[in-house]
Amino acid sequence: MINETRRSRFLLYAGLGVFALFALTPYFWVVRTSLLTNFAAINPETGYLPALDALTLTAYTDIWNQFDFVTFFRNSLIVSISATLISLVFSIPGAYAFARLDFPGRKLLFYTAVFTIMFPWIVITIPVYEVFYVFGLINTLPGIIIALSIFVLPQTIWLLQGFFRQGIPENIEEAALIDGHTEIGAFLRIVLPLSAPAVGAAALFSFLTAWNNFLWVFVLTSDADVRTATVAIHFILGSDVLREWNILMAAVVLLVAPPVVFYGLSQRYVGEGLGGA
Amino acid sequence: MSQETAQHIRQKYGLEETTLMDRVRENWIGYLFIVPTFVMFTILFYYPIVRGIFLTFTNTRLGEAGSFVGLENYSWLLTNDLFHFAFGWTLAFVFGTTLLQLVIGLIAALLLSELRSRWRDWTSAIIMSPYFSAPLAGGVIWMWFLNSDFGMLPMILSDFLGVQAPSFLADGVWPYVSLIVAQSWHDYGYAGIIYAAAIVGIPREQYEAAALAGAGRLRRFRDVTLPHLVTPTIIILALRTAWNVAEFAQPFELTGGGPGTRTMLMSILTYETAYVNLQFSRAYTLGMAMILVSMTAAVFYVTVIKDEEELYV
Amino acid sequence: MARVEFDNITKVFEDTSGPIIAVEELSLDIPDGEFVVFVGPSGCGKSTTLRMLAGLETITDGEVRLNGEPVNDISPRDRDIAMVFQSYALYPHKTVRGNMGYGLDLSTDLNDEEVDRRVVEAAEMMGIEDLLDKKPGSLSGGQQQRVATGRAIVREPAVFLFDEPLSNLDAQLRKHMRTELSRIHSELGITTIYVTHDQEEAMTMADRIVILNDGQLQQVGSPKQVYYRPANTFVADFIGSPSMNFFDVDLEVASDGTGTLVGNGFTYSVSDSLVDLVGGDGEYILSIRPENLNVDPSAPSERSFEATVDVVEVIGSDNFIYLDVAGKECRLRAPSETEPEEGDVITVSFDEADLHLFDRNTEEALVHGHERAESTPKVIEQEA
């Protein structure tokens, strides 16, 4: 920094420390609880930083026997992966066309994207529920998958179109055309391989968005066997069952860890060139 | 130089004869790539919106077709006390948390921008981490953090300050504060990311020139940094307003609109009307109020972002 | 055999503000083996024309023919062309070898050995044979340029197309590459169409220069032709550095038949033969190249004028002297011994054989020295 002094450096670190504390402290309390026995978790004697021998992983092993978390996490995985794949199938060509080709209706797509991103989704669940009800998609995994696919589609398109616009060298499709490809060939054989990192990042973000989703699963399902982990935690919390806080918090950790870890890593590797930022 | 009018030019080269079919044929690849997406949007988004608006003029309940009732739902809405309260509180909530997110995010971005590269990525990941957790999880995390019996905050307050903490999710003004703080904790990372990207784009020379001219830290912030932050701020305001209005999972988990209906947000009210009371038409009517706020933000956003390349998703 | 014909080509773009004519009714015949340079300011239509030949832009009206066959509706890969882009457009994920061989792999059924042989041969021609296994990302701009050119050479096409290939290089490298490209052309003898905005590049490389402005053909000719006999004021101004001097003059013919060109701040007596050539008195544009102006204190007064020295630029071999002639800038190139001071008033003269006269209204050339300008279709007539 300009005119850096010892003092200003110290203030910087102090400030960042405060932020880190603010960000991490709530997480900390959850993690701490998950590493204790239930009794220890609610026992005020345990203290803020438990003694090392009080820590245990029983919550993480017991969780699979309780509350059917195997099913819940499995559903989360199935639904997130499927929604990601479907949205990629639609959004890769869509983003490419929007970024590189010129066609009537571009403006419409742009406004659609803005509109969908900013629309209050809770409101849309109502007519969609109606439609799904008619088609028998309520309480089914396919129903959730379809809903989540459309939910992640706008963000995927926008991530990818940013890349297609800036990350692909100019004129490269034209060089491919002259070298001997058809337009579709140029897209499949030259552009797509070049987009692998961007597609990977978009896939990751879609997956995590679907993984984190509560609204659609909550609205569209009531049966426990199609529930995802995100919704399951809500139900467990709201039930009258004697609280096993450590297991519940372990579930929260398992739910939150993948997104935080992956998003955190991606900050490092993705960042610029992949979207508006 | 050609002085010919547009009409004349088109006529001369036979360009007027291009029909829709001709244009489709010429651009068929573009259409092929785009049409599936459009179809998906139409079925699962545009159609439902229109259907929903239509719903508001009927008295549909879940599972039963309704009959036309004209503006009855709207008059119910406008005379409904709970709606008035929820709408007002939602506006206050959105205002409070959006502002807080913006400020906290800005400060975080400013601090991070001064770090050297190696540490910056990790620190950034840590500081932005609340944003990546599921909002639902955010609700559970704060519920546990604020829990009167087992939560960390009440414990700290009693251990270090000797104060008996209020029930943060039930007593007096605290539920409102808790909701806003928890929401801000979860979402300030978004503003942070946007601001960080904007700050990185400010050429270092501008700061150096200002420093050479004698500007101190605060002055440099005001004269160099701030002008570059106007656009991101507007973007964040528009997007976060729309998103905070629609926020459901975290507040739902934290207070569920309660105690009673004291923290009833529009999103929760809409949910309950639709899926607890099964009154679809009324629920969508409530939704219209939310749509109004979101779409105002959207219009605002689109007029600022004329350059379609940057959507800051 | 690769003869290229542009037959009344027009390109109209539809923009939000209405249709834009990028290229207007261009006709041009390029015989086999010729190195033709399209030159003009930005937006003149040169790249668009090139891309129409390549098949990367559709043709609104007219026909493009390759060896007599119309190619309007043929896709780029079937046109037997190779193109070098300003941005090089190399495939980042392939090696140099892969980049150069890709077109051959795709569009011909040559076996791998044959492809490799051709790649190595072209690489040697471009001096990049030790870069064959590297990826474009690790190459400098100049090296990437060579790879792009090598990629085109390998195809052994009927026509080479170059779209401002040297514009992203620094000045010295650019000059070097110019010579190399000319050398390659004489070695391979393949018809080449080269687009640039740099008139110096055009002059040094071309067999013939095609000058475009605003979508319209201004002149086609050899470098000497366009330099010494520019068809209109645009060409006269565009070609040559420092650029041509222009003066509005009136030709006054006295009762005894002698003519005088009267400009702002000077007069110049012309010979009777010139008066006859022009055909009488009237308003014209006089233009004269900087190197044809001389600092000559002993010149006769009726064939010289006075001017004040504004700036003197010492280049080394010459001096560029910027003069003030009644408020207008006039450029003069003088040998390096001639170095007046700023503010000096000097006598400037020129030879009648070096002057050009243009019509004041149409800006077309009328007289070059002692010859009448040809009124052949160097400039396409405007539709009334």
CB contact under 8 A, A233 and B41: no
Question: In this structure, are residues C204 and C47 in contact, taking their beta carbons and an 8 Å threshold?
Answer: no
Is the separation of the CB atoms in B287 and B52 below 8 Å? yes
- Across the interface, whether the CB atoms of A48 and B220 are under 8 A apart is answered no
Q: What are the strands of the beta sheet with C191-196, ordered from one edge?
A: C81-84, C159-163, C191-196, C35-39, C208-213, C216-221
Antiparallel, parallel or unpaired: β C191-196 and C35-39: parallel
CB contact (8 A) between residue B9 and residue C21:
yes
Per-residue pLDDT, B242: 93
Inter-chain residue contact A170 with C92, CB threshold 8 Å: no
Contact call for C87 and A174, based on CB within 8 A: no
Facing residue for B137 by CB, picked from A112, A218, A255 = A255
Q: Is-contact A234 A218, C-beta < 8 A?
A: yes
Interface partners of chain C (CB pairs < 8 Å, 3 or more) are A, B
Q: C20: distance to nearest CA of chain B, Å?
A: 8
What pLDDT shows up at residue A269? 61
Instruction: Tell me which H or E stretch contains A85.
Output: helix A69-100
Q: Which residues in chain C are contacts of B13 at CB distance < 8 A?
A: 10, 12, 60-61
Q: Mean pLDDT highest for which of A31-40, A97-106, C107-116, C148-157?
A: C148-157
Interface touch A178/C82, C-beta < 8 Å: yes
Q: Rounded to a whole number, what is the distance in Å from the CA of C168 to chain A's nearest CA?
A: 14
Mean pLDDT confidence for A123-130:
91
Burial classification of residue C170, based on how many CB atoms lie within 10 Å of its CB (0-12 exposed, 13-18 middle, 19 or more buried): exposed
Give the pLDDT confidence of B53-92 residue by residue, as tens digits.
888 888 888 777 778 888 888 999 999 999 999 999 999 9
Query: What percent of chain B lies above the pLDDT cut of 90?
Result: 41
Q: Which chains touch B (3 or more CB pairs under 8 A)?
A: A, C
Domains of chain B, by residue range, sit at 23-54, 83-310
The partner residue sitting opposite A2, judged by closest CB among B52, B60, B211, is B211
Round the average pLDDT of chain A to a whole number and report it: 85
CA distances from A267 to A92, A114, A161, A260 (A): 22, 24, 19, 11
Q: Strands C216-221 and C208-213, how do they pair?
A: antiparallel
Instruction: Name the phi and psi angles at A170, rounded to 5.
Output: -60, 155
pLDDT at residue B23 in the model: 65
Band the pLDDT of A101: cuts 50, 70, 90.
confident
Predicted pLDDT at B165: 85
Contacts of C377 (CB under 8 A, 6+ apart): none
| Angstrom distance (rounded) from CA C291 to CA C245 | 10
Which candidate from B6, B10, B13 shows the least CB-CB separation from C10?
Answer: B13
The pLDDT-based confidence of A273 (bands split at 50, 70, 90) is very low
- Taking the Cβ of residue B6 and every Cβ of chain C, the question of whether any pair is shorter than 8 Å is answered with yes
* Dihedrals phi, psi of A168, to nearest 5 degrees: -105, 130
Min distance B239 CA to chain A CA atoms (Å): 7
Label residue B29 by pLDDT band (50, 70, 90): confident
- Please report, as a single letter, which amino acid is at residue B230: V
Nearest to B199, CA basis, from B109, B266, B288, B133: B109
As a whole number of angstroms, the distance between CA B142 and CA B250 comes to: 9
- Residue A268: its pLDDT value, please? 65
Residue C383, pLDDT score: 33
**Does the N-terminal peptide bond of residue B259 adopt cis geometry, omega within 30 degrees of 0?**
yes
Contact A250, A60 (CB under 8 A): yes
| Confidence class for position B16, pLDDT limits 50, 70, 90 | low
Residue B131: closest CA among chain A residues belongs to which residue? A260
* Whole-angstrom distance, CA of residue A192 vs CA of residue A95: 12
- C380–B contact, CB cutoff 8 A: no
- Give yes or no for B262 touching C (CB within 8 A): no
Distance CA C284, CA C355 (A): 12
What is the rounded average pLDDT of the residues C246-270?
86
Q: Is the pLDDT of residue B310 over 60?
A: no
For B83-310, the fitting CATH number among 2.40.50.100, 3.40.50.720, 1.10.3720.10, 3.30.70.2740 is 1.10.3720.10
- Give the nearest partner residue to A175 out of C75, C85, C107, using CB atoms: C85
Prediction pTM value: 0.80
Q: What confidence tier does A159 reach under pLDDT thresholds 50, 70, 90?
A: confident
What does the alpha-carbon distance between residue C288 and residue C310 come to, in Å, rounded to a whole number?
19
Burial of A271 (0-12, 13-18, 19+ CB in 10 A): middle
For testing the chain C interface, which of A166, A170, A179, A182 should be mutated: the one with the most C CBs within 10 Å? Answer: A179
By Cβ distance, the residue of C55, C75, C92 closest to A169 is C92
C69: helix, coil or strand? Answer: strand
As a whole number, mean pLDDT of residues A102-114 equals 73
Chain C residues with beta carbon closer than 8 angstroms to that of A194: 91-93
Read off the pLDDT band of B178 (50, 70, 90).
very high
DSSP H/E element including C212? strand C208-213
Q: Which value does ipTM take for this structure?
A: 0.88
Cβ-defined contact of A123 to B27 (cutoff 8 Å): no
pLDDT of residue C1: 61
Say how many C-beta atoms besides its own lie within 10 A of residue C55's C-beta. Answer: 23
The vertex-A129 CA angle with A123 and A134, nearest 5°, equals 150
- B207 vs A contacts (CB less than 8 Å): 2
Residue A100: list chain C partners with CB under 8 A: none
Which residues 197-226 of C are in CB contact (within 8 Å) with B? Answer: 214-215
DSSP string, A214-275: -HHHHHH--SGGG--HHHHHHHHHHS-SPP-HHHHHHHHHHHHHHHHHHHHHHHHHS-TTSS
Q: C61 at the B interface (CB within 8 A)?
A: yes
Q: How far is B25 from chain A (nearest CA, A)?
A: 11
Residues 193-212 of B with CB under 8 A from A: 193-194, 197, 207-208, 211
Q: Residues C317, C322, C325, C327: what is their CA dihedral angle, to the nearest 10 degrees?
A: 170
Max mean pLDDT range (B66-75, B135-144, B297-306) = B135-144
Which candidate from A19, A112, A116 shows the least CB-CB separation from B111? A19
Lowest-pLDDT choice from A17-21, B120-124, C14-18, C270-274: C14-18
Residue B15, chain C, CB below 8 Å: the answer is: yes
The whole-angstrom separation of Cα A205 and Cα A213 is: 12
Pairing of strands C293-295, C245-253: unpaired
Q: Does residue B215 register a pLDDT over 80?
A: yes
For residue B308, what pLDDT is reported? 47
CB of B187 within 8 Å of a chain A CB? The answer is no
Distance from C-alpha of A196 to C-alpha of B282, rounded to nearest angstrom: 46
Contacts of A102 in chain C (CB under 8 A): none
**What average pLDDT does chain C have?**
89
pLDDT of residue C380: 38
Whether C381 has a pLDDT exceeding 60, the answer reads: no
Q: Do A194 and C81 touch (CB under 8 A)?
A: no
User: Across the interface, which of B127, B242, B313 has its CB nearest the CB of A159?
Assistant: B313
Asked if A181 reaches chain C (Cβ–Cβ under 8 Å), the answer is: yes
* Bigger pLDDT: A155 vs C234: C234
pLDDT band at C51 (very low <50, low <70, confident <90, very high): very high
Which chains does A contact via 3+ CB–CB distances below 8 A?
B, C
Q: Is the pLDDT higher at A38 or at B219?
A: B219
Q: Please indicate if any CB of chain C lies within 8 Å of the CB of A4.
A: no
| Best mean pLDDT range from B7-21, B297-311, C78-92, C260-274 | C78-92
pLDDT tens, C218-229?
999 999 999 999
Give Cα B97 distance to the centre of its chain.
11
Does the beta carbon of B2 lie under 8 angstroms from any beta carbon of chain C? Answer: yes
CA distance C377 to chain B (A): 17
Model confidence at B307: pLDDT above 60: no
Residue C383 DSSP one-character state: P
Q: Chain A: residue nearest C76 by CA? A: A178
Is the separation of the CB atoms in A114 and A244 below 8 Å? no
Cross-chain Cβ contact C89/A170 below 8 Å: yes
Predicted confidence at residue B17, as pLDDT, reads 54
> Nearest-CA neighbor of A157 among B268, C144, B308, C171?
B308
Which A residues, 154 through 173, put their C-beta within 8 Å of a C-beta on chain C?
Answer: 169-172
Give which of A233, A21, A79, A261 is closest to B250, Cα–Cα.
Answer: A233
Contact B2 C12 (CB under 8 A): no
**Angstrom distance (rounded) from CA C181 to CA C162:** 10
Q: What is the pLDDT of residues A129-139, one digit of tens each?
A: 988 988 999 99
Those of residues 17-56 in C touching chain B at CB distance below 8 A are 18-19, 21, 24
> Residue C308: beta bridge partners?
C324, C345
- What does the alpha-carbon distance between residue A264 and residue A57 come to, in Å, rounded to a whole number? 24
Q: Which helix (H) or strand (E) holds C147?
A: helix C141-154
Interface of B with A in 96-135 (CB under 8 A): 107-108, 111-112, 114-115, 121, 123-135
Q: Residue C139, Cβ neighbours under 10 Å: how many?
A: 18
Query: Are B246 and A122 inside 8 Å of each other by CB?
Result: yes
pLDDT at A1: 67
Higher pLDDT, B110 or B15: B110
pLDDT single digits (tens) B42-51: 888 889 999 8
Q: Which residues of A touch B40 (CB under 8 A)?
A: 90, 149-150, 153
